[in-house]
């Protein structure tokens, strides 16, 4: 081969290598070892909420530390069940090493997980539990205990008396259902507190949560002082309820205890428009989920259940360094944002 032909061949090879793209976010190492490396798919419930960005960052940290590749892909919205099922099935067809999944529904995702099991692809479930025993580990907050924390705190700040509203998230979500159960168990054990509504769902978006929140607040006379407190079990329901409390001029009368953290929710907490947030550790959740999968794939024993923790955050301890590390993980370091 003459020098000119050799140069052209090299140029084509380099161009082909540089033009490779994927529809999902991936984390790989450029050492020429990708064929021998573990390739772990991480499938969140959605990709827009701050919670999932923190999960992604934790997974990316694990990818770098453990020398594995991750492929991050999930539905845009947290109510797109079909999209999540299709994504899991696609990863099974691709033959990834393992799948780390936050199931949108406790039963609907069993079929694609069984499909993965038949293909000898292990699954680690995180955030929300999944029915059945096909997955090798469950990495999540103890959501019932976290809900109890919320109920105990709200009962205390309203003086153990008054009417309370619970705006649920959406049917089929195991994680939020357990939070709701934990909250209701604690608040109903508080003498003098009456739960006037606990059967309404805000849905997966802040828009649907706002509409349902506004209807509930108006129906129960929140602006007239008839409601002492509200509990919301997710980022979207908390922000939707916050907007509705502000619009109905009830934000200073009603104690709102919500779930998860975003810049807007933390700002409202600092302003006093939110009484407290129960904050999980999504960064650690993403990190431990990938770490657990990598350990399993490498033949190590893994725990069947891993609790990633939660705590109540109030205006008074918002500036605590430990709280700041929890609610503001360094996304730029791990995701380049």
pLDDT digits over 51-60, tens only?
999 999 999 9
pLDDT digits over 271-290, tens only?
999 999 999 999 999 999 99
At 37 the pLDDT is 87
Confidence of residue 3 (pLDDT cuts 50, 70, 90): very low
At 170 the pLDDT is 94
Phi, psi dihedral angles at 336 (to 5 degrees): 75, 20
More confident site: 55 or 37: 55
Comparing 1-10, 135-144, 171-180, 255-264, which segment has the lowest mean pLDDT?
Answer: 1-10
Asked if the domains at 24-141+282-309 and 143-279 fall in one CATH topology, the answer is yes
pLDDT digits over 246-279, tens only?
999 999 999 999 999 999 999 999 999 999 999 9
Does 2.60.40.1180 match the CATH number of domain 24-141+282-309? no
Enter the tokens of residue 314.
């109030």
Q: How far apart are alpha carbons 52 and 47 in whole angstroms?
A: 6
Question: Residue ranges per domain, the chain?
Answer: 24-141+282-309, 143-279
267 in Cβ contact with 50 (< 8 Å)? no
Go through the chain and tell me how many residues it has. 337
At 337 the pLDDT is 64
pLDDT digits over 189-203, tens only?
999 999 999 999 999
Three-point CA angle 313, 79, 113, nearest 5°: 100
Among residues 108, 62, 66, which one has the least CA distance to residue 89? 108
Enter the tokens of residue 293.
């999968």
Confidence of residue 180 (pLDDT cuts 50, 70, 90): very high
Q: How far apart are alpha carbons 310 and 323 in whole angstroms?
A: 11
Does 3.40.50.2300 match the CATH number of domain 143-279? yes
Helix (H, G, I), strand (E, B) or coil at 161: coil
Confidence of residue 336 (pLDDT cuts 50, 70, 90): confident
């Amino acid at each position: 081969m003459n020098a000119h032909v050799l140069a052209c061949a090299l140029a084509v090879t380099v161009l082909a290598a540089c033009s490779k793209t994927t529809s999902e976010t991936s984390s790989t190492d450029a050492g020429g070892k990708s064929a021998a490396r573990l390739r772990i798919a991480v499938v969140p419930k959605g990709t827009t909420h701050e919670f999932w960005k923190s999960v992604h960052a934790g997974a990316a940290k694990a990818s770098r530390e453990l020398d594995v590749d991750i492929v991050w892909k999930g539905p845009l919205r947290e109510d797109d069940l079909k999209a999540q099922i299709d994504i899991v099935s696609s990863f099974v067809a691709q033959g990834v090493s393992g799948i780390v999944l936050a199931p949108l529904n406790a039963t609907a995702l069993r079929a694609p997980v069984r499909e993965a099991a038949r293909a000898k692809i292990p699954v680690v479930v995180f955030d929300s539990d999944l029915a059945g025993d096909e997955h090798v580990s469950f990495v999540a907050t103890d959501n019932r205990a976290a809900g109890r924390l919320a109920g105990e705190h709200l009962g205390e700040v309203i003086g153990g008396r008054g009417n309370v509203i619970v705006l649920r998230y959406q049917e089929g979500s195991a994680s939020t259902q357990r939070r709701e159960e934990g909250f209701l168990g604690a608040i109903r054990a508080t003498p003098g507190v009456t739960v006037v509504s606990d059967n309404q769902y805000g849905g997966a978006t802040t828009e649907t949560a706002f509409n349902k929140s506004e209807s509930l607040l108006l129906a129960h006379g929140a602006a007239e002082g008839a409601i002492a407190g509200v509990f919301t079990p997710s980022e979207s329901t908390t922000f939707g309820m916050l907007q509705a409390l502000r619009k109905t001029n009830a934000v200073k009368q009603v104690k709102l205890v919500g779930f998860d953290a975003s810049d807007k929710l933390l700002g409202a907490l600092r302003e006093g428009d939110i009484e407290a947030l129960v904050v999980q550790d999504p960064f650690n959740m993403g990190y431990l989920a990938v770490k657990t999968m990598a350990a399993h794939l490498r033949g190590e024993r893994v725990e069947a259940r891993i609790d990633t923790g939660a705590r109540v955050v109030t205006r008074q301890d918002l500036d605590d360094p430990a709280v700041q590390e929890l609610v503001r993980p360094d996304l730029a370091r791990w995701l380049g944002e």
